[in-house]
Every structure is written in structure tokens, then in C-alpha cells.
Structure 1
Amino acid sequence: MAPGGAERSRLAVPLGGAGAAGSARGSGPLVLRGHRSFLPHGAQYSYLWVLVMAVVYQAVYRRTASLFCRLHSTYVRKMRYLNELKEDDTLCRQAQNSGTFFLFHNLSPFLQKVGKKYLVPQLSAAGALDKSVIESELKGSFTDLRKALFIVDGKDSSLMASAQSLLRWHDSHQYCSKTGQPTQKNMAGSKRVCHASGITYYPQMSPVVITLVSDGSRCLLTRQPSFPKGMYTALSGFCDIGENVEEAVQREVAEEVGLEVESVWYSASQHWPFPSSSLMIACHSLVRAQEAEWALTSLKDLSS
């Protein structure tokens, strides 16, 4: 024990074989007590040099491994390539010449029915063709996106939704909101520029909260008069300017069903192309059971 009762730290250093330090204190491990070392002067420098080199090696290894993973990550390479396509018109033009595309007509994607499955054909660019010619030659049809999303593969449905949202955004942003002059899109369609004002417009999404309201034992679902009989949904609404997610959930629940939310927790998020590209932010919200019982007596089930 050190003076004052505090035990000094100990560091055991195994030594392989009997060296200068080993001969002085045997071939077992040497013990360094506190800030003092019992290693001979030359051995101290050797030990410190090995320690420094080990630290340097570990740092270099971690950096090299991280860089190697980033360079060889399929996802990272893909994201960087897509970003280059957005910024480089020449590279994007080259990709278009060798790429494949989904077909749309009036914002409706083209589908082919193969057996019991619906497929989204990816075709090479062929210029503008008549709708009836495409449907006849390719033996398919242009289908409303709301229906198409439920009958195609999940990977294709996500890509179709993104494509339609981008097409809709370009259709509604052909003119600058400041000057009224026409805007021009870049080759990738990732932005539109007004050369008169110098303003660049980028595609945007509107944040929407959708929440499953519960009192701990029951869930509250709602419906609209236009819904088919027996169809219900969770509460949802657009976020107002200045609101965070929790505040939007609390306001929507209060407005729609007259309940006060006690707690909110995030669940998941999803892009939704309706009405014009939304980011659906799903949450769970908890209300008091007594308050829910009182409020539900004033709500009418429109399905009856």
C-alpha cells in the first residue's frame, strides 16, 4: 500500500527469455509500480518504442480498414455513382444511352401480366411512342399507380412511386415562382434552374405524421365517408411549419378526435407518392383511458 492508503497501479510486462532485465530480477514478469519503472535504462526506451509503435499500428490499421470498407462497399459505390449522375450531365447522358427505363403515360406506369404476376418491364430508351402502340406491342397496359403499388414486387413499387413523384414535381415546377420564366431541368432531372433569377429548385417531400392512437388496451381507428364499408385507417396529417413530429401528432389527434396525447414514440417512415410526394412518419401515441372513453362516446361510426 502506498502512503495515505491508496494502492499504486501495477502493470505486468511478460518478458520472453532472460535478458538484461530478466537477469536482474529473474525470468518472470517485471512489475512497474506507480510512475517508477524498474526496467534498466536501455530496456525502458525499447519498451516505450514498442508501445508507441503498437498504438500507431492500431490507428493506421483502423483507418485503413475503414477506408477499405468504404471503397469496397457496394452501397457506398452505388450512392456515389448516383450522385455523380446528378451533377455530371455528360456522365448521365452516357448512362442513359445504355440504361433501361420504366414507361409512364399521364403518370401511370406500364405493367405486363405474366401468369398471375404483374411485372414492370425495364426498356431501353426508344423516344416517344403512341400509347396504344406500346400496349399492343408489349402486351401490357398503363395502370393507375394506386392499384399498381399493390400488385407488383415491393422493390418495383418503391421505384415506381419515386419515379412518379419526380415526374409530378417536374410537371408542377416548369416556371419560376419568382420571375414566372420557364425553368430548365438538368440531364438527370434532379433539379430545375431559372436562368433569369439564378434560382435552383430541387424536388421536395412534405412531412406527414400517421399515428396509431391507443389507451394501453385499445387502438383508435378512423374512416372517411368515401371509404369502402369496413375500411379504417390510423390518424394522419401534414406537419405545420415550425412543428416537430411530436407536436404534429398531438395537434392532429386533438383536432380529429378530441383526445390529448400523453406520449409519442417513433415507429418507422416511408415515402408515399400521394398527393404529391410525402414522407410518412409513423408513430405510436398514448392517451388516457378515461379520456378516451369520454371522447369516443361523441364519435360516430360512419360505416353503420
Structure 2
Amino acid sequence: MSAADLSDDRRYVLTLGCPDRPGIIARITSFIAEFGGSIVEAGYHSAARAQGPEEAAQRDHGGSSERRRSDTDSGWFFTRQAIKAATVPFGLDELRDRFAGVAAELGPDTEWELLDSGAKRRIVLLVSKDGHCLHDLLGRATSGELPATIEAVIGNHPDLAAMTEAHGIPFHHVEFPKDPAERGPAFETVRELVDAHDPQAVVLARFMQVLPAELCEHWAGRAINIHHSFLPSFVGARPYHQAFARGVKLIGATCHYVTAELDAGPIIEQDVSRIDHADDVRDMVRQGRDIERVVLARGLRWHLEGRVLVHGRRTVVFS
């Protein structure tokens, strides 16, 4: 693959997390410099500690848009490096092979990934009856704003089939029994439909069903949910009703990864909107839908662009 074959906007995106120690940034950037790679975006998040002049100088090696933040609790270092693909004289597979040696130098606990921004990214959406998040994502995908294609939409009700199919996207209706104990076969059907597309993201766009633990594990790091409250407040069903009953003055939405613990997965993005005593539940629902759309789209985009690094129950987001 020659540089002429690559779009000027194409990036090879490196994300990495490892126990913090001196010289990490210098090692990564020197590796990229060895083959003439150009870093066009770089973000850093590391444990804060006293630094001598030499270490401070090492940490100053980086690309444009460099940002540093401190995390005194985890003791880990995180980075996201976007390399202009046209400046890499070989393909992504060779780049991965070469960087594996650098990762080994940084220690056995190093976690890293290299993505190609020009590679096709695939999404499957899970929905129920509420169509506001689906409609928003369909519009963003159609306009090219979302860096992925929506391969299919799966609903436990048929209500959103026409909206989906109007965009030329297949809709699959999977009937769910009323008894939660009898929903295993339905979830297995959903799993088969999703896995047929091998998506980079499985988006619960107001799906309103609790995924079984085995599916949470199977789609770990790919299943993304939008919850209509500012978590950890008002977990579970009917959060707007819970918020109204408590007389809150702020309502919000949370985009997070799905785990077996209900509404407790690592948080990607959140936002809030102010309300007052005159707002009833219907006002809160209407206002909250606007927040849900934006928060889900923003969190999903960051996930697809490799901007979210998960460490335990927390995330580092290079937005």
C-alpha cells in the first residue's frame, strides 16, 4: 500500500494503557519518528507525581493537540495517538507487528489497540417503542456524520420498522415473552442477528430490556446503553418518575458500557438540563429526550473513533 492510495484524512489510531513510569511518551513517539510517522493528534492521562527535569523533558515529546491530565488513584498511564496514515510507509498489520515489541518493553500489563479510521465500522441498534434515539442516529448515519454504517435494527416491538426500512436498513422483530424467565430464546435470537454483522458497537437505543449476564460478557466493550438519568441517580425503570417524586432540579442522561450490574457500567458521556417545580413528568420526558439524543450520539462517536479507554469501572475519554 503506497501513500498515494491513502486518503489525506485517514488516521492510524493507537490507544494504550499501562502502569505509569518515566519515558513512556518518549518511547512511543520515538518509535513513530523512526519510520517518519506524523502525529496529528495526541492525548495523555497519567498519574501525577514529582518529576525531575529529565523526566519532564521526556514527557514533553508528543504531537499536536497534546493534553495531560493527572490520575493519582489508578497509577496508570493512558494515551491516544492519531498518526497520519499517508506518512506510514507500510500497512496496518506491519505497524501492529512492529509496535508489539514496544508494548512488550512497556510491561506485561500493557493494553493497546491500533485502529484504521478508514476501515468500515459497523453498528447494530436494539430498540423498543421509543424512536427518538433511533431517528437521531439514522439521520446522523445518512448524513455521514456518524463514522459507521448501521447494519441492522432489532426491536422487541414492531413499531419502529417503517422508520428503519425507510432508510434502507433491515429491521428484525423479535418477540419477547412477558415472563422474564422465558426470554432466553429471544435473547439467543438477538445474539445471532447481531453477531451476523460482527459490529464494533451494539447500541441499546432505548431497548428497555435488561441483557442477560452472558450477553453482557459476550459484547463486553461493545454494548453501549443510553440511560435516561444522570447516573448513578435513579437506576432502573421510570427514572423520570423517580426524579419527579424527589423534586430534583436537574435531569440528565448517561451513555455507558453495558455490564451485568444494572446501569453501572463504565460511563462514557453525560449531560444535564435544568428543570423547575412547574415541570411535570411529561415535561421532563420531553426535555430529557433531547439530552438522550445528544449524549448517545456523542458517546457512540467517541467509542467508534477509539477515544474511550476503559480501566476497571472508569473510563478515560480523549474527546
Q: What TM-score does the superposition give when structure 2 sets the normalisation length? A: 0.17
Name the larger-Rg structure. Answer: 1
Q: What TM-score does the superposition give when structure 1 sets the normalisation length? A: 0.17
